[in-house]
């Protein structure tokens, strides 16, 4: 990356998203959270078309569950199976 | 079938940006910085866009080098999203944001979804932030996450298989460990949240 590009990235935000993402990859545990993709809530969110109101899926739970499910969803999205 | 394949090809270019909120860096997790880190991930894929570079150069000329304002970032984000087929924003552990930042954060996300309908947002957090989410997104889909019995059992089995003193283990003890942990977790969640029991969750 060019020097200025690196500066621009730092300028946009001092936060670095990848630090904890690495940790999540390391302790990945296959299969956990697969059921999420089978829920009615997931389908409802996935199938809602446009509009601000239905754009959000909120998974409520205690600490620790989020990362697992987030990773699951991200993997699903990255596989290109969204919609 | 062809439609399905075309859809799939189009979706392969999906952009995902996310942040794990963390109480250790609460002070840095301002609305501006969170929007900035989302933008950073979206533009990081295909080179810095012209408008972002110009805004940076303009900011640099000002005394002491001005940091981007929220309004600047929102404008740049909307432009970046417009050039992508679909954008998926994930924010994990919303409750770890400082409460004073949460309403502003949700407001900015709402602004994005209104102007960029292809944006989808996935949030996680403790149940109490659900009210804040629903205040900003009245039709938000809320999904209570409870560890599913199979997930917990598989995890415990995996840990038991890694036990470094396998001679001290026998089938009965192993069975007891799995059973007690599953019972405890079930009590914990049913007691704390008043949610369905783990056995009913199996239907997922």
Domain coordinates in residue numbering, chain B: 2-136, 149-201
Chain A residues whose CB is inside 8 A of the B53 CB are 4, 8
Quick: pLDDT tens for B35-71. Answer: 999 999 998 767 899 999 999 999 988 877 889 999 9
Query: Is the reported ipTM for this assembly greater than 0.85?
Result: no
- Rounded to a whole number of angstroms, the distance between the first and last alpha carbons of chain B is 27
Identify which has the larger pLDDT, A32 or B157.
B157
pLDDT-wise least confident of A48-52, B18-22, B63-67: A48-52
Distance (Å) from the C-alpha of residue B39 to the closest C-alpha of chain A? Answer: 7
- CA B145, CA B195: separation in Å to the nearest integer? 10
User: What's the Cα-to-Cα distance from B42 to each of A27, A33, B11, B85, rounded to whole Å?
Assistant: 25, 26, 15, 12
The chain A residue lying nearest B76, using CA atoms, is: A12
For residue A70, give the nearest of B15, B89, B97, B102 by alpha carbon.
B89
Q: Give the other-Cβ count within 10 Å of A61's Cβ.
A: 21
pLDDT class for B197, splitting at 50, 70, 90? very low
Tell me how far apart the alpha carbons of residues B25 and A83 are, in angstroms, rounded to a whole number: 35
Band (B93; pLDDT cuts 50, 70, 90):
confident
Separation CA B4–CA A74 (nearest Å): 20
Q: Is the pTM of this model over 0.95?
A: no
User: What six digits make up the tokens of B204?
Assistant: 């997922």
**Residues in CB range of B149: below 8 A, 6 or more apart:** B182, B186, B198, B199, B201, B202
Contact assessment for residue B82 and residue B15, using Cβ atoms and an 8 Å cutoff: no
Q: Are B141 and A57 in contact (CB under 8 A)?
A: yes
By residue count, chain B amounts to 204
Write down the CATH superfamily of domain B2-136.
P-loop containing nucleotide triphosphate hydrolases (3.40.50.300)
- For residue B43, the chain A residues in CB contact (below 8 A) are 12
The torsion angles phi and psi of B88, rounded to 5 degrees, stand at -125, 115
8-state DSSP, A79: T
Interface mutation target, options A15, A35, A67, chain B, most CBs of B under 10 Å: A15
């Amino acid at each position: 990356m060019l020097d200025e590009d690196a500066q621009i990235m730092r300028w946009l935000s001092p936060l670095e998203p990848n630090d904890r993402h690495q940790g999540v990859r390391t302790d990945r545990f296959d299969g956990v959270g697969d059921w999420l993709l089978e829920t009615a809530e997931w389908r409802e969110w996935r199938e809602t078309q446009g509009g601000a109101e239905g754009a959000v899926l909120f998974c409520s739970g205690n600490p620790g569950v989020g990362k697992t499910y987030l990773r699951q969803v991200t993997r699903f999205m990255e596989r290109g199976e969204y919609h | 079938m062809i439609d399905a394949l075309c859809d799939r090809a189009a979706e392969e270019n999906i952009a995902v940006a996310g942040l794990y909120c963390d109480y250790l860096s609460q002070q840095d997790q301002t609305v501006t910085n969170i929007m900035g880190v989302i933008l950073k991930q979206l533009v990081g894929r295909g080179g810095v866009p012209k408008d972002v570079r110009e805004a940076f150069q303009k900011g640099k000329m000002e005394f002491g080098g001005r940091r981007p304002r929220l309004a600047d970032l929102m404008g740049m984000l909307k432009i970046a999203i417009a050039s992508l087929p679909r954008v998926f924003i994930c924010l994990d552990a919303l409750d770890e944001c400082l409460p004073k930042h949460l309403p502003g954060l949700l407001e900015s996300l709402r602004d994005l979804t209104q102007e960029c309908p292809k944006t989808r947002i996935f949030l996680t957090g403790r149940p109490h932030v659900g009210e804040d989410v629903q205040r900003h997104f009245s039709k938000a889909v809320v999904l209570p996450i409870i560890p599913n019995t199979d997930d917990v059992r598989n995890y415990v089995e995996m840990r038991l298989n890694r036990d470094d003193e396998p001679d001290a283990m026998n089938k009965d003890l192993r069975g007891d460990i799995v059973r007690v942990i599953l019972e405890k977790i079930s009590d914990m969640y049913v007691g704390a949240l008043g949610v369905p029991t783990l056995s009913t969750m199996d239907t997922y």
